[in-house]
Structure 1
């Protein structure tokens, strides 16, 4: 007499559903622990959404370290960063971490972007090579070392910026040294510093 085949028990639907939920939960945990790269859209969005005070607070600790090491005033560092990068939102600052519009030379890491220059009493748009940095702190370091070391053809080019006793003197020294082609650059730096009371950090 042939034995009857045992009927295979079907897994209850509730268990299948539970397993699917469990798998989904594991994948969600993995995505949470995956670090976001500095160049990812999420990381860039955080920079874009900074308030003005958050931007100042972001730069202040390193600006104070640079003052302690080299004497440059934090108000000047932060004021220039605000003016040059539009609070960190310019393409150069946002995508390439260059807060100060520092140009690139030779084999330095660089990006070619449009920029405005004041030439022959008028504003023109040109293409220029700009430094690319790994972080805003690295950009701040290079900015300070430009003042410390000057340029190849004039190592003392920015000496008066370092020896300035206050932000007014430093801003005028920047103008006289030709940091920017804008004839109103010194006044703009001072205006930013005064509007946001950056001299309180000096």
Structure 2
């Protein structure tokens, strides 16, 4: 992070390419991935992000056999997924959304519809904050994160033709 960069700008500079690669691979809009990562990890500075490399607040859930880290969240001493790298966290976030039926409707939206994705994540219960969609959308627009969704439709067509 350079002295003139805000924590948000530094996060975007560091992880935008990773978010775009995940958009191309999975169909999750880069703007959504970046906004969730920024919001859930405090721009990469939360204890969960630093110690567990978990940028998305993904909990262990039933059947998780990977590494774990325990943090207080909605309840004390909750189990969160712990990753070997931030890249692994980004990949798991995309896979988490793709493989859970409660998020399946998101993948029927236009791939650059970040507002629809934000509302859908809230409706599906990704976070407990009742203003989650509003916070994601405000962050995307304040930081112009939707610019990273360019090419999303082309990537979606390429995935569909496989």
Quickly name the TM-score band, shorter chain normalised: 0.7 to 0.9
The equivalent residue for 1:93 is 49
Output one character per residue of 1:55-95: Cα deviation in whole Å (capped at 9) or x when no partner. Answer: 11211112111111221100000000010001000000011
Task: Give yes or no for contact 1:147–1:162 (8 Å, CA) kept in 2.
Answer: no
Q: How does 1:25-36 map to 2 (within 5 A)?
A: none
- Is 1:163 paired with 2:108? yes
1:50 CA drift (Å) = 7.8
The equivalent residue for 1:61 is 17
- Structure with a larger share of its residues in strand: 1
The equivalent residue for 1:178 is 125
From 65, 76, 80, the counterpart of 1:130? 80
From 109, 129, 132, the counterpart of 2:67? 109
Aligned length: 142
Gaps of 5+ in 1: 1-48, 118-124, 151-155
Task: Give yes or no for contact 1:88–1:94 (8 Å, CA) kept in 2.
Answer: yes
- Is 1:190 paired with 2:137? yes
Aligned partners of 1:162 and 1:77: how far apart in 2? Answer: 14
Where 2:98 maps in the other structure, the secondary structure is: helix
Aligned partners of 1:76 and 1:131: how far apart in 2? Answer: 20
TM-score, length-normalised on structure 1?
A: 0.66
* CA RMSD, Structure 1 to Structure 2 (Å): 1.8
- Is 1:148 paired with 2:91? no
Gaps of 5+ in 2: 150-162
